[in-house]
Amino acid sequence: MVVKIVTDSTSDLPSQLAQDLGITIVPAYVHFGDQTYRDGVDISGDELYRRLVDGPVYPTTSASSPGDFAEAYNRLSQETDSIVSIVVTAKLSAMYSSALLGKETLQGKCRVEVVDSKSLTMGLGLIAMAAAEKARDGGTIEEVLEVTRQAVSTTHMLACLDTLKYVLKGGRLAKVSGLLGAMGSVIRVKPVITLQDGDLVPAGVVRTRVSALDRLHEFVKRRLPVEEVAVVHNTTPQEAESLASRIKSLIPGKPSLISRVGPGLGVHAGPGALVVALRKSREEPEEPAHEERKRLKLSLPSLRAHRP
């Protein structure tokens, strides 16, 4: 039997791609007051960003429930005896706990292995894709798990947000907002964040959209060679296309995937976010992470000197 792959909607996988690879997506939730929507099912990105900017109620989000995962596992257990469930980083969401609790309902009739991706958006998406491709090629569950774990260790992500506003308002990025909050009134800068062992951490700031695109392009360039690259936007598709075209020149023959930040993550990122996620062919040393921290330390004095 083919191993089945499950992930959650914060992977931001395009629905057709997930369908083609046989990936089951369990939706997270977006709440506007007493109204609850399933991420990517009951609420679109366009509606989310319109209500986020203009609506009177500020939204919140929550993880999929154990019952949501149980339903997916039970349905798939009619087709397979092995499931690998790969979810958003446990350091930012209760999704991992829900996925673990969900498998208890199967009572041993199907083996389910839950993996913490230590990533989010298309970082998680690329990991799920690698697992699904191995499963499609006939890999055993042990082989799929090995590919998944390798992908976790070789997947990297950098995000440029258009404003600090939504980071500071949302509770899920508390560690990032606390550090960036030290910039005080420098609200016109655009924060850059990355992932370290599943935690979002500041990686500096940029002042313009052009600088943001340059920074994301450089992020890919410094990590060559790569297996897969994804560009993710939420309200700026033309910028995403432009960045994907620039990245294509770095990796001929490997077109960049373009996806959109869904409502589940968009609440916290806000409009104008741009993300690059990539998967390398081998594990990367720690030096690039140190360089990202060094950039942040160098940028802060300059910003303080130019506060509006």
Tell me the pLDDT of the chain averaged across its residues.
Answer: 87
- How does pLDDT run across 35-45, given as a tens digit for each residue? 999 998 999 89
Residue 38: beta bridge partners? 29
Q: Comparing C-alpha atoms, which of 53, 60, 54, 111 is closest to residue 81?
A: 111
pLDDT of 53 above 80? yes
Instruction: Tell me if the domain spanning 4-153 has CATH number 3.30.1320.10.
Output: no
The domains of the chain are located at: 4-153, 155-305
Q: How does DSSP assign 98-132, residue by residue?
A: HHHHHHGGGTTSSEEEEEE-S--HHHHHHHHHHHH
Confidence of residue 300 (pLDDT cuts 50, 70, 90): very low
pLDDT of 244 above 90? yes
pLDDT of 296 above 50? no
pLDDT at 299: 44
- How does pLDDT run across 168-223, given as a tens digit for each residue? 776 555 555 555 554 444 457 888 999 999 998 888 889 899 999 999 999 999 99
Architecture of domain 155-305: 2-Layer Sandwich (3.30)
- % the chain with pLDDT above 90: 71
Q: Cα-atom radius of gyration of the chain, to the nearest Å?
A: 19
Tokens of 103: 């498998």
pLDDT at 187: 56
pLDDT of 146 above 90? yes
> Cβ-count burial of 142 within 10 angstroms (0-12 exposed, 13-18 middle, 19+ buried)?
exposed
- % the chain with pLDDT above 70: 85
